[in-house]
Structure 1
């Protein structure tokens, strides 16, 4: 979100809302010993693009995933995920494996399950493909039953 400064009128309205008339009134409860006495050492103002360049150069000092060899394992490695996959995963019918009770709401989910079963059946040349398993316990029980 871009920075949008508040107007003087908005500042006055906010001060009025909290029951003070000025910024000095707002901070008068802060003890003098805790207040900054000298001016802050703030560099000259920069344009947005200059600031972005500066932050970019500072961030380049960090080690990143692409410049180091990842040794964490467990599937955490550099790999490419096409944008189409990210787009498809944002679709509502893929958010949950549970089918809603209303038939008109179920159509997208049921269609995606049908497509999944059809493609997996063709790929594996199997006649029967289970559409989904709800959780780890169900998946374990299903695997045990299939192994017997």
Structure 2
């Protein structure tokens, strides 16, 4: 199995990077949709319904498959011999940030369900602030992997 992973390493890494880019795009865009959803709609109006369709399609058709692919191919990279040295700090900081990113993904899913039920209590400003979370986590991940601090 490890020979197969070593041979497929460039392909696994390429797919992992593409999945991460897709997932990150969704993690940046969904909170922005929530900003406008919170500020410019009333529960039950036509704009509310339009935002709900956009949000569920983004979450289910793009973000969820991208997150799953990111995790699967990321785990394949971790299992590839010689790629990760667990005695260093960087794999642990990256892992913590990826878990944070996954938590944020699920947090967004809960917020979407609140909009569907007409129970959103967060303001556009609060969603704007939360929109910075994936950026901060991305910085930790990139520095962890590239600089290996």
TM-score bracket, shorter-length normalisation: under 0.3
TM-score of the two chains, using structure 1 as the length reference? 0.23
Larger Rg: 1
TM-score of the two chains, using structure 2 as the length reference? 0.23
Answer 1 or 2: higher relative contact order, Cα 8 Å, separation at least 6: 2
Bigger helix share = 2
